[in-house]
Amino acid sequence: MSIFLDIKYAIRQLFKTPKFTAITLFVLVGGLTISLFTFSFLYSLIYKPLPLPGGESIFRLSISTNGDGRSIPAYELLEAKQGLQSIEHLEVFETTDFRISQQDVGKTLTGTYVENEIFSFTQTQPILGRGFTPEDMLSSAAPTVVLSHSTWQREYSEDSNIVGKVIRINDLPTTVIGIMPQGYHFPVNSQLWLPLPQRLKSLTADTREYIQAYGRVKPTFSKEQAELEIGQAMDAIYQQTARQFQKPEGKLAATLYTFPHAQTDGDGNLVFTFFNLIAFSILLLACINVGNLLLARAIERSKETAIRAALGAPTNRLVLQLMWEGIIITLLGSLLAVLLVSDLLDYTDALLHAEVSENLPFWWRWGMDVPTLLMAIGFTIVTIVLASFIPAWRSAKQDINSTLRDGTRGAQGKKAGKMSRILVTVQIFLISTLMLIGSISAFLSQYLLNMDTIEDYTRVIHGGIFLTDKNYKTPEQKIRFFEDFYDRLKRKHNVENAVVRGYFGTSELVLDGEDSGAQNQFPKIDTMSLIGNTEFFSAQLVEGRHLDKRDNPNAPKSVLISDSMKKRYWPNESVLNKRINIRLNDKLHSVHIVGVVKDRLNESSIFQGHSSEDEIYISGRQFERSYQRIFYRYSGDVTTAEESFYQVLFTLDRTIEPYRVEPASKNFDMMKKAMVMTSYITFGAGGFALLLALTGIYGLTSNTIAQRTHEIGIRRAVGATDKEVIQMLLKQGSKQLAIGLSLGLFVFTLISFAFHGFTDGNIPVVLYFVLAGTVTIGLLIVVLAAIYSPTRKAVAMEPNAALRYE
Amino acid sequence: MSPLIELNNISKLFVTEEIETRAVNQVNLSINKGEYVALSGPSGCGKSTLLSMMGLLDTATTGSYELAGVNVSQLNANQRAAIRNKKIGFIFQSFNLISDLSVFENIMLPLTYQKGLDKNQIQQQVNQVLAKVEMGHRKNHFPSQLSGGQQQRVAVARALVNSPDFILADEPTGNLDSKNALAVMNLLEELHQDGSTICMVTHDPQSALRARRQVEMFDGQIISDSINSLSVKAKVDSSTSQVSIA
Ligand SMILES: Nc1ncnc2c1ncn2[C@@H]1O[C@H](COP(=O)(O)OP(=O)(O)OP(=O)(O)O)[C@@H](O)[C@H]1O
Ligand SMILES: [Mg+2]
């Protein structure tokens, strides 16, 4: 019965001090929301199991040699697969892009080549039509496809007669046999499923095809046993073929990851821990603030508590009685935070799916779920312990006698005052560090967003093409293909200009007479092959001529070099027709320079001028590369322009699967969007942390000052002016500000040094001072305001009232 | 000679949660320099309120107050603080020492708010009043380490340190036993002898009789004002509370 009275009393207290209640609630809801949202978002991203029946037992195969992850060699896997004891349904798949065309327009969708048991393996049946049968897998079978619900919805307006219809996929008439239920995109983000091509089923030992696989460990085996068995089986086969066909050396080992784990590349644990720690420390800050506010309340009531104790109330009753306010406010805060997080998660989910829906793994769905709710309960308990129990317990364990005798809050108030000064310092330190780091990253993202990339990516589409050794056996065949592709593409009416680019990484410039075998001594220079003209990338000719048809396999090998390279190595001589030696993939080539072009940005010179790194351009008609990217600038609309790529491709070779045919700006735009979004989130969370710290500082300061009301009254009674009182209080606040800020600046200095090294010292040093100065002044103003405002209030009351204040 | 303190129709109204309390009701009072006034009356009649208005710790709701010929009702907060600092000394029933400061620092407090005093001067003045209240041997103690009587002697010393024109004491002996009370009363007596103007609130008739003039309040009004122990009953004009001595 008396517990109900305690609760009623606590509720009345909360209503009586609406400002206190509002601040406390705000701090709590903020801290809980940030930590809960971070947890839930990352949990879904990293740990959430596949939303399929038995989804948590599905494993994805991963292979490594000597600890380094690598692609899974297809031949070895398919051979080893036969005799496995520990694995159920080890199935292979290959994810790639498919072109669905309707007349002159089309769309690229991510799809998967699969084995016929995929749908029964994942225990999900089509909602329309049927899944694959073993007959569909035969090379003699008519081409078939199963579509995802969203593809059916978007591309075929949920046509209920779709099953049996023929659509063109990679220019091949293919019969739709089924539609999968909504939300099903196994294995990752598949929009359509096709039978595994014959090519992948009848591989020979010399192939270098790669593949992916999933499966389930049989209940009688452990995951480790299964990993060992697959690893050994594949390695046995690999060692034979490796010797025979000069594949890279090394022992194969297998690891089984869940799909979510594999998706985050195993770095998930680190990311999860790091960000949750940051978020949790914000919750901790919130708890400390709230705990202190409640402790101040408990101290105000210490006399009452002492009287109750003197009358014989047991300690645990006293503690509980002091805790009720905190408990009620925490429960309310948790409830609000859960509602808020639920909304935020829904919003995040909608936003991400609107932006990049088709690239997201299908199990990445955000929303309120059981783990989040359990975590909310956990956080609530932590909060109650930190913010209610500890202050109440401390207050209840006071020295009753001295409190009753003294009549003032002296001793307890003094302890609490010291504690709160330390907390204010800690908060200023945390927030200044946070803001200084934030200002660097804000600057960095601005720098990158506004970076002067001289390349003009408007109206440019690019796509990658990989030529297999099996179908294109000789280098000449590969060169021929890309040349053909280039010529045909340029002939399209809507293609203005094109270029085929092969990346060779770096080549070594072997300088005159120095080829004495001393390796790694020579300068390494970024090298790429081109069919077409460097002006496509805004690298205009400085002297000489561009690479063109003359630079064919029968002609001497020619190169273009960048202006910076010319100036670096041959500042005082003409380089045209100069002969130089370059080592490319361990082969020495003697080439002659036919032209010099302007510098362009390359990846190793982001923080420096374009001239800081050199480039060599070789002719794509003289050097072959299996994987190359085709860039072209188009006129007219983008879908027709994309279609042109496929038209050229399908006339040349229908079996080739192109890689990411899309506007060149897409990546850049996406990176930009991601950066903007990340900085919004960072700013949002950082801003909130700042607000939290400020409310905390304000709360702590006003409590300290409230506790000193009586003292302030005495000082004023003996003649201190308002100004003198305010100055005194500000001076004490400044001390904490100074300590916290210097610690923050110290950390910032350390970070700046690291950052300075990272950016090759290319950001002027003065900028760090400007950033530090701005943050310092900003914080100074804000924190002093947070201290000033309760001070102002303290002198607003008549000294007489202050003297009566207890 | 114009009076040091001149209160004209002073009233104080407290409004809390819709309850109005007229703590002081149309009081007229003048005190001359060098007078020793005892203010008494039943609990809650408005003595402390009147005293705090006289000490500029609170402002009157209506009425005017002239201190040494200056109309203080017109002054701003800083000017009022300066007057409290230089002209007035307070002694409270509950001592009101700052617990974080030592005896010496507590006494020094009013001087720290004056301009142009050097360290030696301050030290000298503090030591002087410390000697006067016989607390020199305790100057580095903290208030919590002192007895009640000692604390009140420190409070008296603090009230004296700025050599005020005017000392206000609100039940200075209320929390003390008779021996300590006597010591404090003797101190006040001494100050009076030295020429200080004193206004003291007290419940204790014994103490009241030590003052030359007795003022009695009831329900926010002054009902009698007499010189010495002659105890002349005053006739109270009901409309103005004007007191005339018969
Ligand atoms: N700050 C305040 N708010 C509301 N009412 C007040 C306030 N201060 C005093 N009062 C009221 O004014 C009246 C006079 O109070 P005051 O303290 O002056 O009495 P007092 O004569 O000093 O009594 P005591 O002898 O008990 O000290 C009382 O009724 C009191 O309740
Ligand atoms: Mg009183």
- The model's pLDDT over A373-422, given as tens digits with 9 standing for 90+, comes to 999 999 999 999 988 888 888 777 765 555 554 444 444 556 666 777 78
ipTM value for the complex: 0.80
Mutate to test the interface with B, among A421, A709, A714 (most CBs of B within 10 A): A714
Q: From residue A67, how far is each of A63, A224, A240, A251, A253 by CA, in Å?
A: 9, 16, 20, 9, 8
Residues 777-796 of A with CB under 8 A from B: 795
Residue B226 near residue B245 (C-beta atoms within 8 A):
yes
Residue B243 CA, ligand 2 centroid: distance in Å: 22
Supply the pLDDT for residue A99.
83
The answer to whether the CB of B44 is under 6 A from ligand 1 is: yes
> Which of B58, B77, B113 faces A718 most closely, judged by CB atoms?
B113
On chain A, the residues whose CB falls within 8 A of the CB of B82 are 719, 721
Supply the pLDDT for residue B239.
39
Residue A237 near residue A18 (C-beta atoms within 8 A):
no
- The model's pLDDT over B151-184, given as tens digits with 9 standing for 90+, comes to 888 999 999 898 888 999 998 888 788 888 888 8
- Residue-wise burial string across A76-105, b where 16 or more C-beta atoms lie within 10 A, e elsewhere: bbbbbbeebebbeebbbbbeebbbbbeeee
Top-confidence residue, B29 or A318:
B29
Q: How far apart are CA B133 and CA A317, in angstroms?
A: 47
- Residue-wise burial string across B208-234, b where 16 or more C-beta atoms lie within 10 A, e elsewhere: bebbbbbbbbeebbbbbbbeeeeeeeb
Supply the pLDDT for residue A95.
86
Regions of chain A short of the pLDDT cut 50 = 1, 405-411, 454
Supply the pLDDT for residue A413.
56
Q: Where are the alpha helices (DSSP H) in A571-663?
A: 638-652
Name beta bridge partners: A633.
A460, A497
**Amino acid (1-letter code) at residue A636:** G
pLDDT beyond 90 at B8: yes
Touching check for A716 and chain B: CB below 8 Å?
Answer: yes
Per-residue DSSP letters for A648-713? HHHHH-TT---EEEEEHHHHHHHHHHHHHHHHHHHHHHHHHHHHHHHHHHHHHHHHHHHHTHHHHH
Residue A500 near residue A530 (C-beta atoms within 8 A):
yes
pLDDT beyond 90 at B215: yes
Top-confidence residue, B117 or B168:
B168
Supply the pLDDT for residue A762.
65
Supply the pLDDT for residue A600.
75
The pair phi, psi for residue A75, each rounded to 5°, is: -60, -50
Q: Where are the alpha helices (DSSP H) in A469-543?
A: 475-491
- Say whether A241 sits in a helix, a strand or coil: helix
Residue A40 near residue A345 (C-beta atoms within 8 A):
yes
| Token pair 């207890």 in the structure block, residue | A806
Question: Residue with the nearest Cα to atom 17 of ligand 1?
Answer: B48
For chain A, give every domain's residue range: 1-48+273-410, 67-250, 413-449+666-806, 468-655
Element (H, E) at B186: helix B178-193
On chain B, the residues whose CB falls within 8 A of the CB of A704 are none
Q: How far apart are CA B193 and CA A240, in angstroms?
A: 119
Task: Quote the DSSP letter at residue A384.
Answer: I
The answer to whether the CB of B45 is under 6 A from ligand 1 is: yes
Supply the pLDDT for residue B124.
92
CB atoms A714 and B144 under 8 Å = no
Name beta bridge partners: B19.
B16
On chain B, the residues whose CB falls within 8 A of the CB of A721 are 77-78, 81-82, 113
On chain B, the residues whose CB falls within 8 A of the CB of A16 are none
Nearest atom, ligand 1, residue B41 CA: 21
- The model's pLDDT over B121-162, given as tens digits with 9 standing for 90+, comes to 899 999 999 998 888 898 898 888 888 888 888 999 999 898
Supply the pLDDT for residue B103.
92
Nearest atom, ligand 1, residue B15 CA: 4
What is the architecture of the domain spanning B33-59+76-227? 3-Layer(aba) Sandwich (3.40)
> Which of A408, A410, A719 faces B86 most closely, judged by CB atoms?
A719
B194: closest CA of chain A, how far (Å): 22
On chain A, the residues whose CB falls within 8 A of the CB of B77 are 721-722, 795
For chain B, give every domain's residue range: 33-59+76-227
Question: Residue with the nearest Cα to atom 12 of ligand 1?
Answer: B23
The pair phi, psi for residue B243, each rounded to 5°, is: -105, 130
Q: How far apart are CA B170 and CA A736, in angstroms?
A: 39
Angle at A680 between CA A679 and CA A685, to 5 degrees: 95
At B5, the pLDDT band (50, 70, 90 cuts) reads very high
Closest A-chain CA to B88 = A718
Tell me: cis bond preceding B110? Omega within 30 of 0 counts: no
CB atoms B113 and A724 under 8 Å = yes
CB atoms A721 and B99 under 8 Å = no
**Cβ atoms within 10 A of the Cβ of B203, count?**
15
Supply the pLDDT for residue A62.
84
The answer to whether the CB of B16 is under 6 A from ligand 1 is: yes
On chain B, the residues whose CB falls within 8 A of the CB of A712 are none
> Which of A414, A719, A723 faces B84 most closely, judged by CB atoms?
A719
At B3, the pLDDT band (50, 70, 90 cuts) reads confident
The answer to whether the CB of B211 is under 6 A from ligand 1 is: no
CB atoms B85 and A719 under 8 Å = yes
pLDDT beyond 90 at B76: no
Supply the pLDDT for residue A407.
46
The rounded Cα B5 to chain-centroid distance in angstroms is: 12
Supply the pLDDT for residue A500.
93
Supply the pLDDT for residue A21.
87
Angle at B89 between CA B87 and CA B93, to 5 degrees: 155
Mean pLDDT, chain B, rounded, equals: 85
- Residue-wise burial string across A568-596, b where 16 or more C-beta atoms lie within 10 A, e elsewhere: ebeeeeebeebebbbbbeeeebebebbbb
